[in-house]
A and B are shown apart, each in its own frame.
Chain A
Amino acid sequence: MKNKILFFIFIIISSILIFPQNEILKDEPVFRVDSTIVSEFKVEDVSNDDGSRLEISCQKVLEGENYSFTLYRKEFDDTVFKTVKIFQSLPLKIVDEGLSYQKKYQYYLSVTDSSGNESEKCLIGEYSPKANLFKTDKVILFLMIIFYTMIIIYLVESVRKGKDLFVRKISGLDTLDEAVGRATEMGRPVLYVPGSSSMSDIATIASLNILGPVAKKIAEYETKLIVPNRDPIVMTVAKEVVKESYSEAGRPDVYNDNDIFFLTDSQFGYAAAISGIMTREKPATNLLLGMFWAESLIMAEAGNTTGAIQIAGTDAVTQLPFFITSCDYTIIGEELYAASAYLSREPLLLGTLKAQDYLKGFIIFVITLYFVILLISWITGGNLVFLSKILEILRFIFKS
Chain B
Amino acid sequence: MFVRRTLPLLVSAVFGVALILQFFVPHPASKNFYNMMLDWLIIVSAFTYLIAVQSTVELHFTKIKRKVEGWQYSIIVLIALFVTAFLGVFGGAFMPTTLWMKIFPSVKPSDTTPLMYTYLYMQMPMQSTIFSLLAFYMASAAFRSFRARSFDATLLLITAGIVTLGRVPLGEFIYKGLPDVVEWILKYPNMAAQRGILIGVQLGIIATSIKIILGIEGKYLGGGK
Binding site for B on A (CB under 8 A): 48-52, 101, 131-135, 138, 142, 145, 148-149, 152-153, 156, 198, 200, 202, 205-206, 208-209, 212, 216, 231-233, 235-237, 240-241, 243-245, 248, 258, 261-262, 265-269, 271-272, 280, 294, 297-298, 300-301, 315, 317, 320, 322, 324-326, 332-334, 336-338, 340, 344, 346, 348-349, 352-353, 355-356, 359-360, 363
CB distance from A331 to the nearest CB of B (A): 11
By a beta-carbon cutoff of 8 Å, the part of chain B in contact with chain A is 20, 23-28, 30-31, 41, 44-45, 48-49, 51-52, 55-56, 58-59, 62, 69-70, 123, 126-127, 130-131, 133-134, 137-138, 140-142, 144-145, 194, 197-201, 203-212, 214, 216-217, 219-225
23 contacts between A and B (CB under 8 A): A50-B27, A51-B27, A101-B28, A132-B26, A134-B25, A202-B204, A202-B205, A205-B220, A208-B219, A212-B224, A216-B224, A232-B49, A261-B59, A280-B70, A294-B134, A297-B138, A326-B141, A334-B197, A337-B205, A337-B207, A356-B203, A359-B203, A363-B199
Q: Are B26 and A48 in contact (CB under 8 A)?
A: yes
Chain A residues within an 8 Å CB radius of B197 = 317, 320, 332-334
Q: With both chains docked as a complex, state the minimum distance between the C-beta of A339 and any C-beta of chain B, in angstroms.
A: 10
Given known pairs A148-B206, A269-B126, A297-B138, the reply for A248 and B25 (CB within 8 Å) is no
| Contact A243 to B210, CB < 8 A, known contacts A266-B127, A271-B130, A272-B130 | no
* B56 CB contacts on chain A under 8 angstroms: 261-262
A232 x B52 contact (CB < 8 A): yes
Known: A152-B210, A248-B223. A360 touches B140 (CB 8 A): no
User: How far apart sit A355 and B209, CA to CA, in the bound complex (Å)?
Assistant: 13
Instruction: Provide the main secondary structure of the chain A interface.
Output: helix
Q: A280-B70, A356-B204 are in contact. List 14 more A-B contacts (CB 8 A).
A: A50-B26, A131-B26, A134-B24, A202-B208, A212-B222, A232-B52, A235-B55, A236-B48, A266-B127, A268-B130, A269-B123, A297-B141, A334-B201, A363-B203
